[in-house]
Amino acid sequence: MQEAKIKFDHVTKIFETRSQTITAVKDYSMEIQAGEFISILGPSGCGKSTLIRMLDGIIDTTEGDILIDGVKVNHKGKKMPSSVLRKLGFIFQQPNMLPWYTVRQNVALPLRVFGLKGPEWDNRVEELLEMVGLKEYADAHPNEISGGMLQRAGVIRAMVHDPEILLMDEPFGALDEMTREQMNMELLEIWEKTGKTIIFITHNIEEAVLLSSRVYVMGTNPGRLVETVTLDLPRPRKLSMITQKDFIEYRQLLESYIGEIDLSKIK
Amino acid sequence: MAQSTPVRRTPKKERDPKRIIAPLVVLAVLYIGLEIFLRVFNVAAYVMPTPTHIIQATISSFHIILPDFLFTLKIICVGFCIAIPAGILLAALFSQFDILVKAMQPVVIWLVITPMITLIPLMTLWLGTDPNLRVIIVIIQATPIICLNTLNGFTHVEREKLELARSVGASKLQTFVSIIFMNALPQVFTGIKLGCIFSTIGAVSADFVSRGQGLGDRIIKFTKYSNFEESYGCIILIALIGITLYTVVEMIEKRIVLWKK
Ligand SMILES: Nc1ncnc2c1ncn2[C@@H]1O[C@H](COP(=O)(O)OP(=O)(O)O)[C@@H](O)[C@H]1O
Ligand SMILES: [Mg+2]
């Protein structure tokens, strides 16, 4: 078998706060191949964000290793090297734009930090702005554009340095239903065009089934992997599929793993 | 919060002529009102001279006032211009270390509250009586308030913004320049604007204590010889220095801090 693009090898994360010790992620292992679109599904507080933030070098692991392309990337107390971070693009739950920069400057921020200069990168910024319909708002400040547009800017900021892996932490959770559906479809298009590896975090079962090839179901207390479900649904996925029989079956299967909690109602 | 329609929100307010005209109207009304009130009720000049008399007297005595005006202007401007970078740099230094923030914040607050003219008698002992030393009073009066506000900005950054920096592997310097400093800019400007006021107070109160030169000193002299019109003229000049500084800072702020409505 091919070497995994991303591998979690018995990863544990423990938070020590003044009053308590929280095991946010316990003994988590998974392997993701290059070009896959997978989802991590679970209720609020089950450690989804913690998991993906360890992979993006935002926080340390407590135990276990994370490997990208077979190379261990987590080293206690050390910043993740630039060469690794360049392979990753992180999309936050909130747009997380810097209000003092224009949309264009925000989108180009990773380029500045990674030291990627030149006309080809400038062109890439413009192409991405064009792709998500932000071209004419490129010189606006974030407080001048709508939430949906801000989140689009967040998506292309994560893609601007052409990373091989996109990490998305409930990226469209703050958007209204219709915008979210639209963004999901745009995301699938981007994935089909670019072949990036995508880890998509959500607490929405339908979204997980619609988008991904495999769903990792997490449970709380402690945050851990409960079940892995491979989705044998045709591609390209379409919104109309949500009423089809096998789609509904997958949805019900995942609901049964999650238990009584109706995740779509959790906000 | 989330809006889905790709519609640009209402653009920032264009320069509104009302914002310039309205205060001028208030000023004119005040001027005329005062003039009429003081004349009708025959208020004594040592209580309050009429605005017209103040202006007339101030203009005719201006050759006496001018050297003091220039002296005070110099003290305020030099002190203020040193206090700005001093306050910001100190805040930047403190913000690098959590312990230093905790240790220095109460000290800075303590310095903000202390009226620095209380140091003048002692300073005269240490440094001599050169009037230019009043700059030091301005600096130590204005620096703490600038430092305090800036520090407040430096230490209140949303966690997500710092995580963004981490997720692209930004260096400490990049994070400071692009996120921590920019995030603090509105507060930095608040500190600087307060610094204008503190500088002016510092300079004039130093004149009161040390005497010999400056608008503060000139007010005391005029009052002593019953030139109340000129005293009021000097007060207005001091206010003008403060207001002008404040306005300049505010104009610069509006040019730079574009993201605040
Ligand atoms: N920095 C932190 N310090 C202490 N506890 C934390 C921290 N970050 C997350 N946690 C805790 O870890 C658990 C998992 O949180 P999180 O990963 O954000 O869950 P999810 O993203 O699935 O909602 C929660 O109980 C949360 O309170
Ligand atoms: Mg989360």
Least Cα separation, residue A75 to chain B (angstroms): 14
Same structural domain for residues B159 and B42?
A: no
pLDDT lower than 70: segments of chain A: 1, 260-267
Same structural domain for residues B157 and B256?
A: yes
Reply yes or no: is the peptide bond before residue B186 cis, omega within 30 of 0.
no
Same structural domain for residues B163 and B183?
A: yes
The answer, for A142 touching chain B at a CB cutoff of 8 Å, is yes
Residue B15: per-residue pLDDT: 67
Mutate to test the pocket of ligand 1, among A19, A22, A90 (most ligand atoms within 8 A of CB): A22
Mutate to test the pocket of ligand 1, among A49, A90, A167, A168 (most ligand atoms within 8 A of CB): A49
Please judge whether A176 and B168 are an interchain contact, meaning their C-beta atoms are less than 8 angstroms apart: no
Q: How many helices (H) and strands (E) does chain B have?
A: 11, 0
**Is residue B1 predicted with pLDDT exceeding 50?**
no
Question: Within a domain: residue B80?
Answer: yes
The answer, for A92 touching chain B at a CB cutoff of 8 Å, is yes
Please judge whether B179 and A109 are an interchain contact, meaning their C-beta atoms are less than 8 angstroms apart: no
Residue B115: per-residue pLDDT: 87
Question: Within a domain: residue B75?
Answer: yes
Pick from A85, A100, A145: CB nearest B168: A85
* pLDDT tens readout for residues B37-60: 999 999 998 889 999 999 999 999
Assess contact for A65 and A54: CB atoms under 8 A: no
Query: What's B151's domain CATH number?
Result: 1.10.3720.10
Question: Within a domain: residue B174?
Answer: yes
Q: Whose CA is nearest to atom 12 of ligand 1?
A: A24
Burial tier of A230 (Cβ tally within 10 Å: 0-12, 13-18, 19+) = exposed
Please judge whether B2 and A81 are an interchain contact, meaning their C-beta atoms are less than 8 angstroms apart: no
Residue B211: per-residue pLDDT: 86
- Straight-line distance from the first to the last Cα atom of chain A, in angstroms, rounded to the nearest whole number: 39
Same structural domain for residues B109 and B36?
A: no
Question: Within a domain: residue B15?
Answer: no
Looking at per-residue pLDDT, the higher value among B78 and B123 belongs to B78
Cβ atoms within 10 Å of B50's Cβ, excluding its own: 19
Q: How confident is the model at residue B2 (pLDDT cuts 50, 70, 90)?
A: very low
Least Cα separation, residue B167 to chain A (angstroms): 6
Question: Within a domain: residue B9?
Answer: no
Same structural domain for residues B48 and B100?
A: no
Same structural domain for residues B68 and B27?
A: no
Q: How confident is the model at residue B261 (pLDDT cuts 50, 70, 90)?
A: low
In whole angstroms, give the CA distance from residue A202 to residue B160.
18
Residue A173: per-residue pLDDT: 86
The answer, for A110 touching chain B at a CB cutoff of 8 Å, is yes
- Straight-line distance from the first to the last Cα atom of chain B, in angstroms, rounded to the nearest whole number: 17
**Which residue out of A98, A130, A159 would a mutagenesis test of the B interface target, given it has the greatest number of B Cβ atoms within 10 Å?**
A98
Same structural domain for residues B85 and B134?
A: yes
Same structural domain for residues B243 and B216?
A: yes
Closest-CA residue to B116 (of B220, B201, B8, B232): B201
Reply yes or no: is the peptide bond before residue A236 cis, omega within 30 of 0.
yes
Same structural domain for residues B87 and B45?
A: no
Q: Whose CA is nearest to atom 21 of ligand 1?
A: A49
Residue A22 Cβ < 6 Å to ligand 1: yes
Q: What is the DSSP letter of A189?
A: H
Same structural domain for residues B130 and B246?
A: yes
Residue B250: per-residue pLDDT: 95
**What is the domain extent for residue B26?**
21-54
Complex ipTM value: 0.90
Same structural domain for residues B169 and B249?
A: yes
> How many structural domains does chain B have?
2
Q: What angle do CA B97, B102, B107 make, to 5 degrees?
A: 115
Residue A228 Cβ < 6 Å to ligand 1: no
Question: Within a domain: residue B146?
Answer: yes
The answer, for A58 touching chain B at a CB cutoff of 8 Å, is yes
Same structural domain for residues B146 and B254?
A: yes
Measure A23 CA to ligand 1 centroid, in angstroms. 9
Please judge whether A145 and B8 are an interchain contact, meaning their C-beta atoms are less than 8 angstroms apart: yes
